[in-house]
Each structure stands twice: as structure tokens, then as C-alpha cells.
Structure 1
């Protein structure tokens, strides 16, 4: 994929919405250029908000991690797919709705915080995020519930996640197994849908024309940015870019966030 980063073509940057995994860090390892870029934007007074499809961490967990890399942030700087999923469910379902959860403790916490009930007995909804302790039994319960009428919701469709040593299957890989077996199309909360992008924009208070969407995945990050009307930037520090003519191409392709010019 050809790198596209002509300084003369960049828009006036007054706000940034960004992915995390593969952009700011890979697993537990910081991407140093990215951390430096965000610190520079912070020094220039350019606001940013992170939107992560990863449902295995709370906003508090993310802040602790970023602060450990030397990037001072607060929970207002982070929108997670787990919290967004719980909020969206509560917009359509009352407190006490029965939910079967396949995912990390952070997803379970978000569901409980929204006053929903976690159970494998006749759930109205099956919600699935990244679960590194997935078993055939969890998949069986999820498929059975969906076949009996439960709504299938995925925190995100990411098939692949970057790690310090390579890659691992993402939440989308697990979700696809259940959706395929039950022959249903799941409702997706995270990118490429715009729910988290809209939440980030409301926090930033910036104009879409002057806000960048930065990510490392074309099917999710870039499509979400495009759908939200933002200038999209693909950085090649994460998952290998997907060449798919059916997807909207990024406005810029870069190898380091430091290639984005500081302009106000």
C-alpha cells in the first residue's frame, strides 16, 4: 500500500479521534512515536479522544496504561466499546433485562453498571466481546440462546489484533462463529459503526471538518471515520492493511503519527 502523507494536503487539525491498539501501543508495549505525537498535540492544546473496540479494559484501565507510557489522560479521553454497548442496550431495554455475556470482566462490569442482569437462563440478549478464555460451552450457550430468539450483539467485528510478538484472533472471530452457526446478522456496537465516534465528538466539541480519525484498520477505524464525516488517517503500525475495493480508502496513509503536521 502506497504511503500518502503530503503535508500541503492536510486539513487544519483542531481535534483528534484515535484508536488505541496498533496505534498508540501494541499489547503492553508503547509505540513511542505515537506517544510523542499525542504529547505534542496536548502541548499545543489540540484535544483528543480515544475510541477502542477492545472490550477487555475499562476506561480507567486505559488511562492507567496511557499514563504509564507518559501520556497524561483522564477517563473523559476514552470511549470503550463495552461501556457504549451497555449504554445502547439501556436505551432500548429496561433495567433488569437478562443478558448472556461472553467476554472479559470489563464487559461484565459495564453490563452490571447499567443495571442489567447477567445470566445464561433465557437471556433476551447475547453480547459478545473479546474472551481469551472462550470455550465450546460458552459458544454453545450463546448459539442456543440466539436460536431461541435472543438478540446477538457484538462489541466489535475485529478479526485480528496486534500483539508485541504478532497477532491474535479478535472479538469478531468469536462473534462470527456464533453468528454463522445461528445464521443471524449481529448488531455491532464498535467501529465501523459510528456510536463511539459520535460520543467522542460530543466530548471534544470540535468541528468534523477539522477533526481527524486515526486508526490502523481499514475495515473498522477508517470506515467509522468516513461514516462520521471525518478526515481518516491510516497508520501502518498495527494490523496489516486490507486491500478491499469495496471499502472506502483512507485520506492519508502514514507510518508514524509524527508525520501529521501540527497546524491549528
Structure 2
């Protein structure tokens, strides 16, 4: 059951912004209650948009993954940290700016699609995303570039990611090492920053007061939602909650998204 009654049943929820990892699925395994809840919102005409810190998947990848779970969406329903990173770089740098990327092919593709040049030599920007093939050499290139003045950008600060059987190190583990070695504070693209939330709200076209943010991580999802002025819902199907008195607390904590459908208006 929810810790407190949800402030408004489904009739009061006009829009939904939601995380994916740990909320809708864990690794390759769907979370059935979450899938069914989003199907209900879809049938009821409640618009939703997923915002993911994970830069290893493109919006198309996520559409296909959710299709396999029985939830049919389009790329308009997805905002990724990879695409957002590319947009933010282009806001401050011209086309063909040299960028060094640690990360998956989806992040590299997003950078290339923004007319930026991928390179290991004298980059102006270093972008760090989750890289499951991280090596000491990759980190050396990044550290050397940052020490020579390159801007350090992290797609997200997530230290842990939920899997079907437990947890794995997130991008934050890699980013923290590079930041510690260079003594530089990275620019964060994803949650807890609000860049992706703002994009999602623009797509939804809903008022912030009637839109909720759903996530499984207090340091990232909940902070982003609260900073963006959204009612923030913590679901305990992902990473174990962090107890930190300096962080914004969720408005509501639930063990299943189905609780949002059965909650009564207060």
C-alpha cells in the first residue's frame, strides 16, 4: 500500500513523466504491474512520456523493447539522455566540434546526428555515458582531455542500475572516477537535472500541477521531479531508497504502480 494516499486518483492525473529502469522493467524483465498501469493510462487518454538516464538505448530501441512487453508507444513518448546531451552541446558549440565519447553506440550516434565530430584527439568536450566495455585506456583519454581544458559532461550520475537478478554499476561509477582524477565537476545532462523533464512536459502539453513524475531513485528521479515542480512518486521496484536528509522526499511512495490507479482523491 502507499505510505500516504496519492494526491488525486487517475481523474486528477493529467500527465505522467516516468523513469524506465526499475520502474517499467528491470534489465530485460518487465514489471507487469507497471506495464498494465501504463496500458490503463493509455486507454484513459492520459499522456505519458518516459525519460531515461540510460544512454545505451535509443528512443527506437526503447519503443521496440516496450512493444515486446505489450506496451505500444512511439519515439515521441521517449526522451533519452543521449539525445539530450547532443542537443545541449549544440546549444553552446558549433557543428563539427570535436567530442570524445565514452559510451554505447547509441550515445555516439546521437552525437554524430547532431553534426558533432567523434575523436580521441584534442576534443573540446568529453561525454561520459554507461560503457559496459570501459577500459583504463578510455578513461586515460578522457582524463587527459579534461585536464587540457575539455568540458566534462555526464549523461547521468546513476551509481547503480537494477537488473533482473540484482544490480550493476551505473554510469555514475565511471563518471565519478574521471571527475575525481581531474578534480572537475561534470555537467550532468540527465536526472536530477531537469533538462529531460522540461522536454517531456513540452511534448505532453500538460500543466505541471496536474502532472506526476515516477521514479525508483530518490537522488535522481525524485529530485528532478521536485525541481521541475511535479508531484513525485517513488516506486520501490528498483534501486533501494537512499536515506539522505538533504534530498527532497517523494510526495508518495508505492510498492506497485497499480496503487496509483486504486488511490482515492483526497
* TM-score normalised by structure 1 residue count: 0.97
Query: Is 1:10 the equivalent of 2:37?
Result: no
2:235 maps to which residue?
235
Q: Residue 44 of structure 2 corresponds to which residue in structure 1?
A: 44
> Aligned equivalents of 1:70 and 1:3: distance in 2?
26
Counterpart contact for 2:16–2:49, Cα < 8 Å: yes
List structure 1 segments (4+ residues) > 2 angstroms apart after TM superposition.
261-264
2:192–2:223 CA contact under 8 A, matched in 1: yes
Q: Give yes or no for contact 1:5–1:259 (8 Å, CA) kept in 2.
A: no
Could you tell me how far 1:10 is from its partner in structure 2? 2.8
Query: 2:196 & 2:125 partners in 1: Cα distance?
Result: 20
Separation in 2 of the partners of 1:237 and 1:42?
Answer: 21
C-alpha displacement of 1:248 = 0.4
Instruction: Render the CA deviation track for 1:80-99: whole Å, top value 9, x for unaligned.
Output: 00000001100110000000
User: What does the per-residue CA deviation read over 1:91-142, in whole Å, with 9 as the maximum and x for residues that have no partner?
Assistant: 1100000000000000000000000000010000000000000000001110
Residue deviations 1:22-58, cap 9 Å, x none?
0000000000000000000000000000000000000
How far is the alpha carbon of 1:200 from its aligned partner? 0.2
**Contact 1:10–1:261 (Cα < 8 Å) also in 2:** no
Alignment-derived partner of residue 245 in structure 1:
245
Q: RMSD value over aligned CA atoms?
A: 1.3
Equivalent position of 1:193 in the other structure: 193
Contact 1:81 1:189 in 2 (8 A): yes
SS of alignment partner, residue 71 of structure 1: coil
Q: Does 1:33 align with 2:33?
A: yes
Q: Gaps (5+ residues) in structure 2?
A: none
SS at match of 2:21: coil
Partner Cα distance (2:22, 2:216) in 1:
6
Map of 2:138 onto structure 1: 138
CA contact (8 A) 2:37 2:261 kept: no
Give distance in 2, aligned partners of 1:5 and 1:42: 25
* Residue correspondence of structure 1 range 1-264 to structure 2 within 5 A: 3-7=2-6, 9-10=7-8, 12-261=12-261
Take 2:234 and 2:5, find their aligned partners in 1: how far apart are those partners?
Answer: 14
Give unpaired runs (5+ residues) of structure 1. Answer: none
Deviation of 1:254 after TM superposition, in Å, equals: 0.2
Provide the secondary structure at the position in 1 that maps to 2:83. helix
Counterpart CA distance in 1 for 2:143 and 2:218 is 29
